[in-house]
Chain A
Amino acid sequence: MDASYIKPFVASIQNVFATMMQLPVSLGTPHLKTKPGASSDVTGIIGLSGDVIGTVALAFSEATASRVVALFGGQQLATDNPDFADAIGELVNMVCGGAKAMFTNKRVSISCPSVVLGAGHLVATPQDTPCVVIPCTSDCGDFAIEVAIREAAVPTKPVAAAAAQA
């Protein structure tokens, strides 16, 4: 995978956590996800479409997710409270939104987020798309961002041409 696809997520995750929660995030060395990969308890997932396609996931243990949600939303919530998944979804939404703005000359759209809750679940990604795992460390605990994206086979209209038509 092109490293230029990873850097926006690295920058965005640090920006989102620092701005919304004053929570510094340290990043480990990105590595390719091995099959079936590590499990998580809480995962926020967003789909990308357009010139770049695939999925991006923020994967937490339950303990880390609980601390992050409490800091973000200002209150401690049980994992089965609908607002718990809402908070995780909004975080992954901001991370992906910030990252996609850094993809220069590419038209990319993001989906509404989905959140998976369940102890020790695995997130599968398409076999034809490499998945890069970026380990993250914070005072709330460790978590990871998993980026499984690639260029679309048929690119959409160039940005300049599309803007001229608008």
Chain B
Amino acid sequence: MRILLIDDSRTMRNIQKAVLTQLGYSEICEACDGQDALSKVGAFRPELILVDWNMPNMDGLAFIKAFRQTNRTTPMIMVTTEAERSRVIEAIKAGVNNYVVKPFTPDLLSQRIAETLAKAGAAKVA
């Protein structure tokens, strides 16, 4: 499975990559902000996207809105420090499928990835 990781912090990308690797995913592409991610989605064709909110150049919310204009199906999980209920609603309205608040444990991130992919799989079958 091809997974796109979008976060301006390389440390955070490495932490998430370690979780994904442990789950058996190895085809991982990294982007450091929304603009970088938009330039990579065409060639990489991700099947799952993990995206941070606060990033320079183009933030996660702007990326999601831009990406969803042409892609309604690829599941996206927002992984962010933005924990307020109003922010979660804003992100879901923009098109994310699931939400993880930093700080997170590896178990929590794994669980969210599993449930997101399960729902996306179910949607495909339906």
Contact = CB atoms under 8 A, between A and B. Distances in A.
A83 B83 contact: no
Given A19-B103, A166-B90, A97 B11 contact: no
Contacts, number: 60
B63 to A, nearest CB: 16
A97 B9 contact: no
Secondary structure at the B interface, as helix, strand, loop or mixed, is loop
Nearest to A112: B56
A90 interface: yes
A123 interface: no
Contact of B81 (A72, A74, A93): A93
Contact of A87 (B11, B84, B101, B104): B11
Interface in A86-143: 86-87, 89-90, 93-94, 96-98, 100-101, 110, 112
Contact of A97 (B55, B56, B90, B102): B102
B80 interface: yes
Nearest to B11: A87
A90 B83 contact: no
Given A16-B103, A97-B102, A83 B80 contact: no
A74 B90 contact: no
User: How many A residues are at the interface, by size bracket?
Assistant: 20 to 34
B91 to A, nearest CB: 12
A24 interface: no
A94 B102 contact: yes
Contact of B11 (A19, A72, A162, A163): A72
A97 B82 contact: yes
9 contacts: A19-B103, A19-B104, A72-B11, A86-B10, A97-B83, A98-B83, A100-B84, A101-B84, A162-B86
Interface of B: 8-12, 14-15, 18, 54-56, 80-84, 86, 90, 101-105
